[in-house]
Amino acid sequence: MEELGGYRLIEELGAGGMGVVHLGIDGGNSPVAVKVLHPHISSDETARRRLAREVRTLRRIKHPRIAEVLDAELDSDRPFIITEFVDGTTLSEDVRGNGPFQEDELVHFGHALLDALNAVHDAGVIHRDLKPANVMIMDGEPMVIDFGIAQVADEVKVTATGLVMGTPGYLSPEIADGKPSSEKTDWWGWAATMVFAATGRNPFGSGPLEAVLGRVAMGRADLEDVPARFVPLLRACLEPKPERRPSGAMILQALVDIESGRVPELGGGTSAQIPRADGVGSAGPYPGQPRAQNGPPQTAVGMPAVAQQSAGQHGGAAVSSRGAPMAGAPMAGAPADAPPVPSANGQGPAQHPGERPYGALTLDEAARQQRGQSSPNGYAGAAYAGGPYGPGQPGPQGQMQPYGQGQPLDAPAYSPYSAQGRRLPGAAWFLLALNLFAIAFTALGPLLVAAVMLLWQVVARTAGRLRAARRRRFVEYGPQAATGWSAVARAPGSALASILTSTLSLILPTTAAVAAAVLAWLDVVGIVPEGRNAEWSLWCAALVFGVVLWLGPGSQNLRLGSRVLVSPLVRSPRAEWTGAIALVVLAGLAFTTVLGGASAVWWPSPESPFEILPEPGL
């Protein structure tokens, strides 16, 4: 076993532009990631000195969403960097295995990446290489790894040979042009990574390097299939000119808007389009410019405080230091004598008709603006944000208000550590092994397996319904409407609906399984070993039943619920593979037991149903 600087190298995990990454073991037998630098970097004395300074800075970053830099040896013949080992899958692998993120998962993911990058920037470092391969998903949570081409922010640019590198489509225009990077370089990478998470595609497509870089330089990102509320934000972040991109504070406010069920409308130096009802951005005076509004101007999301003067100077609403409209300040264009409305909690300054938090639009309001219609309060595109009803609380006629509507502006923002939008592990191999075990055990206790399967189906469908309902309430009304108590209240109704659905969904797989069992019993094809008709009939029936049930009508909720049930057991790829291997071993033991002469136990039935069938070969 190779050893390097006191670390044992177990296996190679991958290679990048900076070096080769190995799984290593430190002196305390803890796993670490060992990045051994490429020779063209290790032979460059200037690059090594710069990396040494950078590593010293990176070691000060302690954050739960960032793989910590633990050690480094850059003066040896084989320089290396030691980082925390993240036992998970890359974002690329996760999306490939589990599909693109849903909107609530995307909100959670965006908050988490934003939080991690803010911690990096607070240390004076620019990551510069954020991409799906550098984001790990562990236990449903993202972690940022590989500061391969990170740059200390107070250095003007990277000139060392081999350090200006990156992945086309995730490499910002300024880096591709050899220009200085800044925090907004990482917001570009944040948006590109978000587009991949939402669509499973590279944001600027594929093809020759020149073609991809040309689309990057023109800002021609492919945002098809991106959730509509995210389109303006991601388009603004992928603006080729860094000065036109939103800041971290603006992105945070926009994420809060999206979580509140609104389309963020970005301003203050950025360009963003509000999608039409058909999902196409509206045309402004020039491509990418925000469309003109028919009603009162909206406040830019998170406008820098230095530009926030009186509302009269800008023709817009007064804004707070957080970039949100200040309660009690009417929107420009609203009637001067409009009476103030008490804040949602009865405290603090009042709000006025026409005011909205963060200047955001709902999807309905965006479509209404496109048609030139007015909102119910008389202003095109202006929502009534005040009222005596708190977020997620019953409004007039007992209706729920969307989260964020009527919310006090000093209310705490959504925490990026909330588990509401956490991504479920895929668990594909574990569930496949579980099905294989059930099929193998069917030949030993068919009725027992059938009973357990029916119970699993009801519980899984109930769990799937509850998770889907929680996600809907989370998106529409916010985290406080998606608590455990709401799930408890919905559980009885979800269970009854699952019992009915399970009963109906059994018709097709049961019919197919009975047909398969009869054909195997009669050995129509002539491939069943002599004297093994009963066992092979049960295995064939179980296989056909499982395939039809898992992939047939109404199976989507069953698969979702099954992932929910097994998620505590497969929090990491290693846990999933360990569980899957254990189940495969148990399945093998069941097969061996049956082939060794064990017969099926039909309890609680007194006799085997095969006795009513004609003997094979007759």
Tell me whether the omega of the peptide bond preceding residue 604 falls within 30 degrees of 0, making it cis: yes
380 and 452 in a single domain? The answer is no
Q: Which of 24-33, 305-314, 501-510 has the lowest mean pLDDT?
A: 305-314
Whether residue 267 lies inside any domain: the answer is yes
What CATH number did the domain enclosing 382 receive?
Answer: 1.10.510.10
* Phi, psi torsion values for 502, nearest 5 degrees: -65, -40
Predicted local confidence at residue 480, as pLDDT: 61
> Are 33 and 179 found together in one domain?
no
Whether 408 is in a domain gets the answer no
pLDDT grade for 123, boundaries at 50, 70 and 90: confident
Say if 315 falls within a structural domain: no
What's the rounded mean pLDDT across residues 71-82?
86
Share of the chain above pLDDT 70, in %: 69
Please tell me whether residues 72 and 93 are part of one structural domain: no
Tell me which long-range contacts 545-548 makes (C-beta under 8 A, separation of at least 24): 545/509, 545/510, 545/512, 545/513, 545/516, 546/435, 546/438, 546/439, 546/509, 548/508, 548/509, 548/512, 548/513
Domain final position from 84, 108, 131: 84
**Is 358 contained in some domain?**
yes
Is residue 246 domain-shared with residue 125, that is, in the same domain?
yes
Question: Same domain, yes or no, for 30 and 150?
Answer: no
DSSP label at 123?
Answer: T
The predicted pLDDT at position 589 comes to 95
Strand, coil or helix: what is 319? strand
Q: Is residue 579 part of a domain?
A: yes
Q: Is 489 inside any structural domain?
A: yes
* Cβ(67)–Cβ(84) below 8 Å: yes
Distance CA 487, CA 483 (A): 7
Q: What is the pLDDT of residue 591?
A: 93
230-268 pLDDT, tens per residue? 999 999 999 999 999 999 999 999 998 888 788 887 754
DSSP class of residue 165? -
483 or 181: which leads in pLDDT: 181
| Torsion angles phi and psi, residue 238, rounded to 5 | -95, 15
Residue 441 is predicted with a pLDDT of 94
Task: Encode pLDDT of 450-509 as tens digits.
Answer: 999 999 999 999 998 998 887 666 655 655 666 777 788 889 999 999 999 999 999 999
Task: For 409-423, write each residue's pLDDT tens digit.
Answer: 333 333 333 444 567
Work out the mean pLDDT of the chain and round it to a whole number: 73
Quote the longest CA-to-CA distance of the chain. Answer: 97
pLDDT at 476: 57
| Better-scored residue on pLDDT, 532 or 439 | 439
Choose among 418, 439, 435, 420: nearest CA to 559.
435
Pair 170, 51 in one domain: no
Amino acid identity, position 548: V
- pLDDT tens for 265-290 read 775 433 344 333 333 433 333 233 33
* DSSP state letters, 13-50: EEE-SSEEEEEEE-TTS-EEEEEEEPHHHHT-HHHHHH
Task: Give the least confident one: 249-258, 421-430, 515-524, 555-564.
Answer: 421-430
Distance CA 428, CA 335 (A): 58
CATH code, domain carrying 11: 3.30.200.20
Highest mean pLDDT among 59-68, 143-152, 606-615: 59-68
- Give a yes or no: residue 381 inside a domain: yes
**What mean pLDDT do residues 327-338 have?**
38
Of the candidates 589, 599, 584, the one whose C-alpha atom is nearest the C-alpha of residue 535 is 599
Lookup: tokens for 579:
């569980």
Higher-scoring residue by pLDDT: 392, 147: 147
pLDDT at 259: 82
Q: Could you tell me if 223 and 343 lie in one domain?
A: yes
Report which of residues 345 and 485 the model is more confident about. Answer: 485
Residue 541 placed within a domain: yes
14 to 18, 40, 86, 128, 376: CA distances (angstroms): 11, 18, 13, 20, 57
> 274 and 392, same structural domain?
yes
Query: Does 482 or 310 have the greater pLDDT score?
Result: 482
Last residue in a domain, options 43, 62, 84: 84
pLDDT (tens digit per residue) in 94-120: 898 888 998 888 999 999 999 999 998
Same domain, 441 and 498: yes
pLDDT of residue 327 exceeding 60, the answer is: no
Q: How confident is the model at residue 527 (pLDDT cuts 50, 70, 90)?
A: confident
SS (H, E, C) 204-270: CCCCCHHHHHHHHHHCCCCCCCCCHHHHHHHHHHCCCCHHHCCCHHHHHHHHHHHHCCEECCCCCCC
Share of the chain above pLDDT 90, in %: 31
Is the per-residue pLDDT at 42 higher than 90? no
Please indicate if the annotation marks 35 as binding a ligand.
Answer: yes
Phi/psi-derived region of residue 580, left when phi > 0, alpha when psi is between -120 and 50, beta in every other case: alpha
pTM: 0.56
Tell me which DSSP letter residue 481 carries: G
DSSP state, 142? E
- From 43, 59, 84, the end of a domain falls on 84
Domain containing residue 498 = 428-612
Q: What is the DSSP string of 536-547?
A: HHHHHHHHHHHH
Number of domains the chain is built from: 3
Q: Are residues 547 and 514 in the same domain?
A: yes
Shared domain check, 109 and 69: no
77 with 188, same domain: the answer is: no
Residue 391 pLDDT level (bands cut at 50, 70, 90): very low
